[in-house]
Chain A
Amino acid sequence: MDYLAQQLINGLTLGSIYGLIAIGYTMVYGIIGMINFAHGDVFMVGSFVSLICILLFGITGSTDIVIGIGILMIVAVIAMAISGVYGWTIERLAYRPLRGSFRLAPLITAIGVSIFLQNFVQETQGARVKPLQALFAGGFTLHEGTEFTVRITYMQILIVLLTIALMAGFSLLISRTSLGRAQRACEQDLKMTQLLGIDVDRTISMTFVIGAMLAAVAGLMYLLYYGVIDFFIGFSAGVKAFTAAVLGGIGSLPGAMIGGVLIGLIEVLFAAYFSSEYKDVAAFSMLIIVLIFMPQGLLGRPEIEKV
């Protein structure tokens, strides 16, 4: 029981990270109907920017926790800004010229952008894994069992709280602001939105920027949680987040959040009870199972053929 509780805490933390990345997939799919396969690599870029900033600011394991968290917030803002620029540029250069082209075209450029980003980071940052010493190593002991002790680390609390805050802010953006309203309108009828005077290109750009920003925070969290990153982390995290988006119902925002948490839990529980070497298999089998038996996902709408 204690063991299970511990795994649920770990799964929730990991799921928060996947959920934040999944939002970027689902939002872009909702509006322009493409899968942005470079999104995982934007997450990786965000992670590298975070690492560079943390080293520049000189936070170490012995930094006071309040000051440390303050600096981490600044790091998050910088990573969001730089990743946002990446997201904007990718959309502008690689996707917008192909809008209105056949459906496979943007998919292929997306894969191209993904390979480009991986190689770019590999070239400029080196291929070796980058370690970061553990920050705020402490935590709370929730339950002292005879064989097993349930703990929640400060880092896990930070990750989950930050995710909740970001998702709340993001939900407000979509439901309450005019930009969110325009995004929802674009999702339903791009052409009509344009004819009502809305600059659809800019709305789509903003969608990419917002998705990239959330992925950047996920990148920071991943770095803090695992303490080691390399240029290839975007691939597996990206595919898992994509799985999360599909599981939740691609195009649905609450679906992406729920799907993220579920994929995190599935991965952690599989690793805990079966085999940690095969944990990726669990997540990807999930993708196949969902696509075969429930292609519209948990909260997705059934596909309607557009006339």
Chain B
Amino acid sequence: MTKPLLTVKDLTMRFGGLVAVDKFSFEVQAGHITAIIGPNGAGKTTAFNCITGFYKPSGGSIALHHPSRGDFSLETMEDHKISRIAKVARTFQNIRLFGGMTVLENLMISQHNELMRASMFSIAGIFGLPSYRRAEKEAIEKSMAWLKRIGIADKADDAAAALPYGQQRKLEIVRALCTDPVLLCLDEPAAGLNPKESDDLGVFLREIRDKDHVGILLIEHDMSVVMEISDHIVVLDYGRKISDGTPALVRNDAAVIKAYLGVDE
């Protein structure tokens, strides 16, 4: 069996006396969509924040295996390096687009490091030298290709905040993808979407998995989306893992049913 893309071992996060995540271990396989589910306050977002460097975990290890770049210990890396070097990208529950900038600019920001190299620290950029113009053209082409895939290429020059909600959600995912990640972490991508938009999102995420070969880790409350697209589901309750397996297995797990619905005494 090949090495997993992400191996989380005994991840623990304490806030003062509160243990939000307790010895949480799971794996994300390359080319899979893995979902973390659980009731409110189970510690899903906290676990997510540790993986993407937003929090420094109190204990445990998070190892990322990049197919060409080697292995990284994410718990010790600065957050901009987790994105730039280990190639893990994320989105948030609430939309955090750069609302005042255009749709295209939002995607160009993700490609800053390549452009910065090409611009010789902006000197070539100010004078519009050919090397920078070529790099910028490539970045624009890449951005436009993504915008076409989510069907908003005609809105490239609109302010990001002016897009409808569903398109803002997709733009956020695409912005994360422009950093060329091997692992994409999505925190409730279907929150606030109508059923039609949720279905679209499911199709799009599977396309990313199959065509772009990006591993996806997601938190989601919309069970129809989770059951439909996930290859693997991990269930958290009160910071502990209570179930781990395929959707069919998790759906029928007594511990999961108990956590979600409670049981008769």
Q: Among the listed stretches B61-69, B104-112, B206-214, which one makes contact with chain A, having 4 or more residues with CB under 8 Å of it? A: B104-112
Cβ-based interface call for A134 (8 A): no
Contact assessment for A188 and B80 in the assembled complex, using a CB-CB cutoff below 8 Å: no
Complex Cα distance A200/B83, Å? 13
Contact A197/B112 with A179-B121, A185-B101 known, Cβ cut-off 8 Å: yes
Number of interface residues of A (CB under 8 A): 24
Q: Among the listed stretches A12-20, A149-157, A170-178, A218-226, which one makes contact with chain B, having 4 or more residues with CB under 8 Å of it? A: A170-178
A198: chain B residues within 8 A (beta carbon): 80, 84, 109, 112-113
Contact assessment for B52 and A188 in the assembled complex, using a CB-CB cutoff below 8 Å: no
- Interface centre among B80, B83, B100, B105, by most chain A C-beta atoms within 10 angstroms, is B80
Cβ-based interface call for B224 (8 A): no
Contact assessment for A195 and B83 in the assembled complex, using a CB-CB cutoff below 8 Å: yes
B179: chain A residues within 8 A (beta carbon): 196-197
Complex Cα distance A193/B99, Å? 13
Contact A179/B113 with A197-B80, A198-B80 known, Cβ cut-off 8 Å: no
Contact assessment for A176 and B125 in the assembled complex, using a CB-CB cutoff below 8 Å: yes
Cβ-based interface call for A103 (8 A): no
Cβ-based interface call for A164 (8 A): no
Complex Cα distance A197/B175, Å? 12
B53: chain A residues within 8 A (beta carbon): 195
Shortest distance from the beta carbon of A82 to any chain B beta carbon, whole Å? 18
A143: chain B residues within 8 A (beta carbon): none
Complex Cα distance A192/B110, Å? 10
Proximity string of chain B (172-207) to chain A, C-beta cutoff 8 Å, 1 when within and 0 when not: 000110010000000000000000000000000000
Contact assessment for A178 and B84 in the assembled complex, using a CB-CB cutoff below 8 Å: no
Shortest distance from the beta carbon of A179 to any chain B beta carbon, whole Å? 4
Cβ-based interface call for A181 (8 A): yes
B119: chain A residues within 8 A (beta carbon): 177-179
Contact assessment for A178 and B90 in the assembled complex, using a CB-CB cutoff below 8 Å: no
Proximity string of chain B (37-49) to chain A, C-beta cutoff 8 Å, 1 when within and 0 when not: 0000000000000
Cβ-based interface call for A184 (8 A): yes
Cβ-based interface call for B26 (8 A): no
Complex Cα distance A172/B100, Å? 18
Contact assessment for A195 and B52 in the assembled complex, using a CB-CB cutoff below 8 Å: yes
A177: chain B residues within 8 A (beta carbon): 119, 122, 125-126, 132
A189: chain B residues within 8 A (beta carbon): 96, 98
Complex Cα distance A83/B136, Å? 31
Proximity string of chain A (67-102) to chain B, C-beta cutoff 8 Å, 1 when within and 0 when not: 000000000000000000000000000000000000
Contact assessment for B126 and A173 in the assembled complex, using a CB-CB cutoff below 8 Å: yes
- Interface centre among A177, A195, A197, A198, by most chain B C-beta atoms within 10 angstroms, is A197
B112: chain A residues within 8 A (beta carbon): 178, 181-182, 196-198
A178: chain B residues within 8 A (beta carbon): 108, 111-112, 115-116, 119, 122, 125, 136
Contact assessment for B98 and A188 in the assembled complex, using a CB-CB cutoff below 8 Å: yes
Q: Pick from A180, A184, A196: contact of B83, CB below 8 A.
A: A196
Contact assessment for A197 and B83 in the assembled complex, using a CB-CB cutoff below 8 Å: yes
Cβ-based interface call for A169 (8 A): yes
Shortest distance from the beta carbon of B159 to any chain A beta carbon, whole Å? 12
B105: chain A residues within 8 A (beta carbon): 181, 184
Complex Cα distance A194/B79, Å? 7
Contact assessment for B116 and A200 in the assembled complex, using a CB-CB cutoff below 8 Å: no
Shortest distance from the beta carbon of A54 to any chain B beta carbon, whole Å? 26
Cβ-based interface call for A199 (8 A): yes
Contact assessment for B126 and A176 in the assembled complex, using a CB-CB cutoff below 8 Å: yes
Complex Cα distance A188/B128, Å? 26
Complex Cα distance A194/B98, Å? 13
* Pairs of residues from A and B, 3 with the lowest C-beta to C-beta distance, nearest first: A177-B125, A197-B83, A178-B115
Q: A179-B122, A182-B109, A182-B112 are in contact. List 17 more A-B contacts (CB 8 A).
A: A173-B126, A176-B126, A177-B119, A177-B122, A177-B125, A177-B132, A178-B116, A184-B101, A185-B98, A194-B80, A194-B83, A195-B83, A196-B109, A197-B113, A198-B112, A198-B113, A199-B80
Can you pick out 6 interface pairs between chain A and chain B where the beta carbons lie within 8 Å of each other? Answer: A179-B119, A180-B122, A192-B98, A194-B80, A195-B82, A198-B80
Chain A positions near chain B (C-beta within 8 angstroms): 169, 172-173, 176-182, 184-185, 188-189, 191-200
